[in-house]
Amino acid sequence: MKLIRMLLSIAFIAFLTGGILTGCDGFINQEKPIINENPDQGNQDIKDSEKNAPPTEKEQTPNQDQKDQNKTDEKDNPYANAPKVDPTEYHEKAIQVVAEPNDVAILVNKQYRLPDQYEPDDLVYPDVPFIFSEKVEKRKLRKVAAKALEKMFAAAEKDGVYLAGASGYRSQSTQVTIYNNYVDQDGKEKADRYSARPGHSEHQTGLSIDVSGISAECAVEECFADTAEAKWVADHAHEHGFIIRYPKDKENLTGYIYEPWHIRYVGKELAKEIFEQDITLEEYYNVAIPVNENK
Active centre residues (catalytic): 259
**Contact present, 160 and 212 (Cβ < 8 Å):** no
| Region for 106 from its dihedrals, namely left if φ exceeds 0, alpha if ψ lies in -120 to 50, beta otherwise | beta
From 242, 276, 259, 212, select the one nearest 152 (Cα to Cα): 242
Q: Helix (H, G, I), strand (E, B), or coil: what is residue 249?
A: coil
**Contact present, 164 and 211 (Cβ < 8 Å):** yes
- Dist. CA 265–CA 257, nearest whole Å: 19
- Dist. CA 152–CA 237, nearest whole Å: 7
- The CA-atom distances, in angstroms, between 259 and each of 41, 148, 193, 245, 246 are 76, 20, 11, 8, 5
Residue 21 contacts by C-beta under 8 Å, 6 or more apart in sequence? Answer: 28
